[in-house]
Amino acid sequence: MKFFIPVIAGSIALASFSVAVQADSSIDSTENNSGFYVGGNYGYLKVESDDDFDDSNDVSQGIIGYRLNPFIALESSYINFGRYGSDLANAETTGYTAAVKGTIPLSQTVEVFAKAGQLWHETDYNVTSFSGSSDDKSLFAGAGVNFKVTENFLVNAQYTWYDVDLEADNVSSDSKFETDFNQASVGAEYRF
């Protein structure tokens, strides 16, 4: 977390500088309003749980999307939540997402967005002497802000919440661990 705060502050400062530079220059009116984009995020993950899985970790995500118009996009990603937990109970989760993303341009260089969708995830877990794997699906929602560095290249900061449940079937008859994943990240996006 100590490393993550300077990264966010530096990204916002860089984006603010680029916003100011672009505000002074003339922007082409043939703006890229639809099409494919790719991106990636790196950040901080807080796993909130009432058991030994409560922890924090780094998270990384690769994104591909299609903008239908300046306001609506369809987005999918691969996300690695990493390893989290304690010595008694730990897990590692990866997954794929599909989402609808809504964007509101505040200016020619700043946009806010919100997204919601489905996460399909696989978790490998170890609970005391038991280990196994669990596949499940969960809902998620998030929001953030984009800063245009150029017409096609953007940097962003965002927060996403995932409602993830882990079922460790071989531990006991009722081993459903309720967890929430809270992701705060910075990233970049390139629009084609």
First-residue to last-residue Cα distance in the chain = 33
Please answer whether residues 75 and 99 qualify as being in contact, where contact means their C-beta atoms are separated by less than 8 angstroms.
yes
Q: What is the chain's mean pLDDT, rounded?
A: 83
The bridge status of strand 72-85 relative to strand 55-67 is antiparallel
Handedness of CA 183, 176, 94, 83 (dihedral sign): positive
Backbone angles phi, psi at 45, to 5 degrees: -115, 130
Q: What is the pLDDT of residue 140?
A: 97
Please answer whether residues 112 and 145 qualify as being in contact, where contact means their C-beta atoms are separated by less than 8 angstroms.
yes
Tell me the per-residue pLDDT of 152-170, one tens digit each, with 9 for 90 and over: 999 999 999 999 877 766 5
Please tell me the chain's helix, strand, coil percentages from 3-state DSSP, rounded to the nearest 5. 10, 65, 25
Report the C-alpha gap between 114 and 116 in whole angstroms.
7
For the chain, the structural domain boundaries read 4-25+43-191
Tell me the per-residue pLDDT of 85-100, one tens digit each, with 9 for 90 and over: 888 888 899 999 999 9
pLDDT > 70 fraction of the chain, expressed in percent and rounded = 76
CATH code 2.40.160.20 for 4-25+43-191: yes
